[in-house]
Amino acid sequence: MSLDTVAVATAHPDTEQPWRELGLKEDEYARIKEILGRRPTSSELAMYSVMWSEHCSYKSSKVHLKQFGEKAPHSDALLVGIGENAGVVDIGQGYAVTFKIESHNHPSFVEPYQGAATGVGGIVRDILTMGARPIAVMDPLRFGPADAPDTRRVLPGIVAGVGGYGNCLGLPNIGGEVVFDATYAGNPLVNALCVGVMRHEDIKLATAHGTGNLVVLFGAKTGGDGIGGVSVLASETFASGKAAKRPAVQVGDPFAEKVLIECSLEIFAEDLVVGIQDLGGAGLSCATSELASAGSGGMSIQLEKVPLRDPSLSPEEILMSESQERMCAIIEPSKLSRFMKICKKWDVTATVIGEVTEGKHLEITFNGELIVDVPPRTVAHDGPVYNRPIARPTYLDSLAPTSLPTLDSAAEIKSELLALISSPNIADKSWVTDQYDRYVQGNSVLAQPEDSGMVRIDEETNLGVAISTDANARWSYLDPYNGAKLALLESCRNIATTGAKPLAVTNCLNFGSPEDPGVMWQFAETVRGLADICLEMGLPVTGGNVSFYNQTGSVAILPTPVIGVLGVIQDVTKRTKMGIPAADLEVLQLGNTADNFSGSEWAHIHGQLGDLAPTPDIEMEVRLINLLLEAQPLLESAHDLSDGGLAAALTEATLRNSIGATISLPGEYIPGGVAAALFAETPGRILITVDPQNLAALEALAAKFEIPVHHLGKTGGDILLINDATIPLVELKEAHTATLPRLFG
């Protein structure tokens, strides 16, 4: 086949092109021709198709996501916000922390191990490109029913991929979630978060400035794996009876990435780069167009110089390949020799493939022939923007209140509690987390199953950060506006229970097809809710990800906004753990319980959903966070009450150190009696233990912050006694820990 050059495209304007097969709409193809004043070359068409995909261009979400800028609170801590590879915040003592969460959902369904592994690799490189050393990862996961055949197919591979890649990189996995729901069947969610640390002066940006500066591709060679990759795969629904786009999933090499990380950090330490970008979604198409667009605008690339694993790749395939472990840097010519020496030291392939030019176009040649001549901003940032139709879903009109058992006997209390804590969503997740190295590097302070992960930043001062991710998709299904608020508040509580102060927010917004007006209503309400609460609480959104088309046929996933919150703690040695540490402590509940089971796990195991999600009390939640931070020296343990309510929290707190508790649940302060006390998931509540000699001081602080305190009982013994229901910890542990091993071997 002859090369489709710019000259050929100009001379033969009527040549038919596969724009529809590449995922472009007719009006989008027409817009490309309007931009260029001619038909695109096949290489230009490849670039526009991947960069204008839903995954890369955010064309259906941009009109809503702008609220994060319009409603952005002032934050002295924010150093780099939305628009770069990851946000950066100041945590004091000259340190900056960068963190971000992204999705790799569709590739992980097609090829579970490599899809999950390369999801971890991609988010780690996003953190690396900011100039930071990656220090920890997290993995919020969602699957179909735990006993479904496809869940048994994808879950073991996804967990192995997350663990295998992260373990080989030497990065501790300090948190995440594993949630099961029927709507995720065929649409597992694999969200990956990474956090990194640097000094303020070491921050790097993705920009190409300086005429004559060189464009250097370094890292792994480019292969045929991942052609189209996530950029196309994540931009279409998996529909039965319809030919789906299934490009090759990327193949990861964590050992190559580990070497690339160390090589890059040495390069950064010597200040050898003007700008840097990783090659993730859309590969070289993305890296070159985004660097040029964010810089002076001109760039010339010689595509034949790109090192290839497969010499048969066409120019279009080279541009679309999402092969992993690759970076693109802008280097001053005077620094090239030193740059190359460092790459050689680490045995990292590095090749000059172009330079920054005076012009305003990105020009790419192949063996001397001009195959791309485009304004880079039209590729990278000025893609189509859709204000898609929005309609409130009709399912909201047919929701019914829950009708659940009353607990009238000790036998019923015990039976229902054991059923809850052995359900897949509440059961112990050690089968998953034991496959991850949680303590490599020696700076992990807290990890799963604690409320939030925590890592030490400075070994001398013990400065640290805590990170939590949360989402209650059933609440978001019932009320997406408040569901987003509730997810953020839960993440903030998880940070505060450890003694850390919430500082900044990232998010991964997972939804069905944006072409469904009901899904777009869910999305719009979610973004509105998240932007509103971040403004109210003074927490900046530093970046994130949107994942659409998580849908098989007409069945969309539950709206799942995974909210990540990062907090700072001045001394990690003073953190609070979730487990009961000793006998003879007072067991208290902070916050009131409401008689509402809608969206709760107890309702779920009884086959019910409910009708009304809780309404968040933001002022109370802020007071509760401030109470937890001020009362931290008085707390022996603290555990957020969320999924599974008090029943799950008591189970996890007692089993952590095998110390029991005697609990009395008076009905007078809980409208729903014992059932609500145990199983309601009312937000804004914390289970704490305190030494009796600190009880008066704790109650005084709670009164200061106007937070109700309820006395539940005492710690000690080898049973969990709730009213008259006696549950030996041995029996409790067996019920809590047996589920996942039984399901997955």
Active site residues: 55, 104
Question: Which burial class, exposed, middle or buried, applies to 156 when counting CB atoms under 10 A from its CB (0-12, 13-18, 19+)?
Answer: middle
Q: DSSP class of residue 452?
A: S
The enclosing H or E element of 702 equals: helix 695-704
| 3-state secondary structure (DSSP) of residue 646 | helix
Structure tokens at 36: 């260029």
- Using CA atoms of 666, 670, 672, 677 in order, give the dihedral in degrees to the nearest 10: -70
Is residue 215 within 8 A of residue 353, CB to CB? The reply is: yes
Please report, as a single letter, which amino acid is at residue 414.
Answer: K
Please report, as a single letter, which amino acid is at residue 733.
Answer: K
Q: Cis peptide leading into 449, omega within 30 of 0? A: yes
| 607 φψ region: left (φ > 0), alpha (ψ -120 to 50), beta (else) | left
Is residue 351 within 8 A of residue 217, CB to CB? The reply is: yes
Q: CB atoms < 10 A from the CB of 570, how many? A: 15
Structure tokens at 15: 């040549």
Is residue 509 within 8 A of residue 50, CB to CB? The reply is: no
Which residues on neighbouring strands pair with residue 99, listed in sequence order?
A: 87, 195
Residue of 593, 471, 559, 556 whose CA lies nearest to 193: 471
Q: State the SS3 of 678-693.
A: HHCCCCCCEEEEECHH
Pairing outcome for strands 453-456 and 464-470: antiparallel
Residue of 279, 273, 263 whose CA lies nearest to 295: 273
| 3-state secondary structure (DSSP) of residue 528 | helix
Q: CB atoms < 10 A from the CB of 30, how many? A: 12
First CA to last CA distance, the chain: 52
Residue of 83, 75, 154, 85 whose CA lies nearest to 113: 154
Is residue 617 within 8 A of residue 562, CB to CB? The reply is: no
Residue of 652, 581, 745, 688 whose CA lies nearest to 151: 745
- Between helix 254-269 and helix 149-169 the angle, nearest 10°, is 40
Residue of 297, 143, 282, 139 whose CA lies nearest to 208: 297
Residue of 527, 605, 535, 534 whose CA lies nearest to 559: 527
Q: CB atoms < 10 A from the CB of 692, how many? A: 10
Is residue 580 within 8 A of residue 714, CB to CB? The reply is: no
Please report, as a single letter, which amino acid is at residue 697.
Answer: A
Polymer length of the chain? 745
Please report, as a single letter, which amino acid is at residue 554.
Answer: S
**Distant-in-sequence, close-in-space partners of 479: CB < 8 Å, separation ≥ 6:** 612, 613
**Distant-in-sequence, close-in-space partners of 624: CB < 8 Å, separation ≥ 6:** 493, 496, 590, 591, 684, 686, 705, 707
CA distance 342 to 259: 11
Please report, as a single letter, which amino acid is at residue 588.
Answer: L
**Distant-in-sequence, close-in-space partners of 635: CB < 8 Å, separation ≥ 6:** 576, 628, 688, 689, 690, 698
Q: CB atoms < 10 A from the CB of 351, how many? A: 15
Is residue 249 within 8 A of residue 323, CB to CB? The reply is: no
CA distance 71 to 227: 38
How far is it between the farthest Cα atoms of the chain?
Answer: 88
| 3-state secondary structure (DSSP) of residue 599 | coil
